[in-house]
Copies of this chain bind each other. A is one copy, B any other.
Amino acid sequence: MDGGTRFAELRARLAEINDLTRTMALLSWDQHVTMPAGGAAARACQLETVGRIRHQTFVDPEIGRLLDDLRDWSEQQDYESFEASLVRVTRRDWEKAVRVPADLQAARTRAAALGYDVWVDARKHSDFQAFLPALRQNLDLTKRYIDCFEPGDEPYDILLDDFERDLKTAEVRRIFDYLKEHQAPLIAEHAHPHEPTRGPFARQLQEQFEREVVRAFGFDERAWRLDPTVHPFASGTSIDDIRLTTRYFDDNLDGLFGTMHEFGHGLYEHQVDRGLERSPLARGASLGLHESQSRMWENLVGRSLPFWRYWFPRLHELYPHAFAGYDVDRWYAEVNTVEPSLIRVEADEVTYNFHIILRFELEQELIAGSFPLEQLPEEWNRRIWEYLGIDVPDDRRGVLQDVHWSSGSLGYFSTYALGNLISAQILDKVTADIPGLEDGFADGEFAPLRDWLREHLHRHGRKFTPAETLERVVGTRKIDPEPYVRYLSGKFGEIYGTALSSQ
């Protein structure tokens, strides 16, 4: 058989595997959004079965043979072509996947599904003891997963590589050390107590406003959904079926920022080149790059002054009582209040990265077994005190706040901070490319940013490595913390001037 025929065979097998991946996304979305509670046990089995079949189908030695046969042929193709990229990326994925026994893979999938329900309940009752067995199981499975691979420089490298290919723990540590040195001082500089409006914010109006905002960004009911859930996420079953989830609070509008965040993720998946559909390339290049998109729409856009110049009048109109006495500057200052707080997803831009740094450090200690697992809440609380100077009153607002460990997703958190850093690298580039971009936000014009992101980042999907992709977008392969710290210094220096002068 010639290369083209072999490639078509590979493509077809990967398309089926993609169908299973998308099917798992739906099983999971439904579990978190629509499924009645009674369905949990059966759903765990369904996820396990589909996950096992997907894994078995992918690690089939025939895929290895196809990849071997296609090595020369694919190297003759243009590096940027779909063909060369698919073979290149699949080889890397396959070589990792074949190291993981099917039973371990299935056990991880099942433990993740069961762990979710245990976590929801444990968090509700702030009961770490109730969560402990599920956490222990997930951690044990994660360690067994690490053992499947050649030891890297550090065991944690194995986990990180799943989310941010080729990035080393040592490199992340260097970046985070820079933040500890240069970002931490901003907390002391800008933190101040504040008394925000407490609404009340009728949920129906929140939903209406959020839909108006994301529609202006590019959300379209023909290809998107927005639903409430406990721990918001973005998902979907194809390029034209993007599912955002959010939550609503009666006394604040934090849900709005969550929705803009998930929109950023959704847009990345939605603007992948259609030619990549039903292939493993039809996704973002890495979680760090993904998070750069969510944080960009949530913060660099959604917490910017031009954005609120356009949207604040509408918000005021919907909630005249909650915003009595407010002007846009006051609201802008409020949504950018800096204050050490307990919950990562509600943290302001200045303190956020420290929520990540503590998780990054704790995860390495969990893997190393540096302390008995029972002691995790104390270790958590100690670090919150160390980095943010506040006490954790209960585990619900401490170690139980995030879903990730319930599914054994260790290695994931640091990509959130990396995403922040990358978002500022990208903003530097796009504002240089498009003069007046941010002024456009004040006129409700978000299409120029959306289109730039499609052209320079989204359309590539997962064709290139994270470093290669970053280079295409901003011209360097390195994640650089400097633009983000510069962005924070500039923005918050200005805000507190603005805020003070408007009082």
- Interface set of A (CB-CB < 8 Å, partner B): 15-16, 19-20, 22-23, 26-27, 30, 34-39, 41-43, 45-46, 48-50, 53, 221-225, 236-242, 277-278
Contacts and interface: CB of A to CB of B under 8 A. Distances in A.
A238 B41 contact: yes
Residue among A38, A50, A53, A238 with the highest chain B CB neighbour number at 10 A: A38
Given A27-B26, A36-B225, A225-B34, A240 B42 contact: yes
A19 B36 contact: no
A42 B238 contact: yes
A20 B26 CA distance: 13
B278 A39 contact: no
Given A34-B34, A221-B36, A241-B35, A42 B27 contact: no
A45 B21 CA distance: 12
B277 A241 contact: no
B45 A222 contact: no
B49 A238 contact: no
A38 B278 contact: no
Given A19-B49, A23-B23, A23-B46, A38 B225 contact: no
A35 B236 CA distance: 9
A272 to B, nearest CB: 13
Secondary structure type dominating chain A contacts:
helix
A222 B37 contact: yes
A35 B382 CA distance: 45
Nearest to A37: B222
Contacts of A43: 237-238, 241
Contact of A241 (B15, B42, B223, B225): B42
A388 to B, nearest CB: 39
B36 A27 contact: no
Contact of A38 (B15, B23, B27, B241): B241
A154 B180 CA distance: 80
Nearest to A22: B46
Contacts of A41: 238, 240
List of 9 A-B pairs having minimum Cβ-Cβ separation, nearest first: A38-B240, A39-B241, A42-B238, A38-B223, A19-B49, A19-B46, A16-B49, A37-B222, A36-B223
11 contacts: A19-B50, A20-B50, A22-B42, A23-B23, A26-B26, A26-B30, A34-B34, A37-B222, A38-B239, A39-B237, A42-B237
Given A30-B26, A238-B42, A277-B42, A49 B36 contact: no
Nearest to A224: B36
Given A26-B30, A53-B53, 11 more contacts: A26-B26, A34-B225, A37-B223, A38-B238, A38-B239, A39-B223, A39-B236, A39-B240, A42-B237, A42-B241, A43-B238
Nearest to A43: B237
A49 B35 contact: no
A233 to B, nearest CB: 16
Nearest to A237: B39
A202 to B, nearest CB: 16
Nearest to A240: B38
Residue among A42, A222, A278 with the highest chain B CB neighbour number at 10 A: A42
A256 to B, nearest CB: 22
Contacts of A50: 19-20, 23, 50
A53 B38 CA distance: 27
Contact of A240 (B19, B26, B36, B222): B36
Contacts of A223: 36-39
A237 B43 CA distance: 8
Contacts of A23: 23, 27, 46, 49-50
Nearest to A223: B38
A241 B38 CA distance: 6
A434 to B, nearest CB: 28
A277 B41 CA distance: 11
A26 B27 CA distance: 8
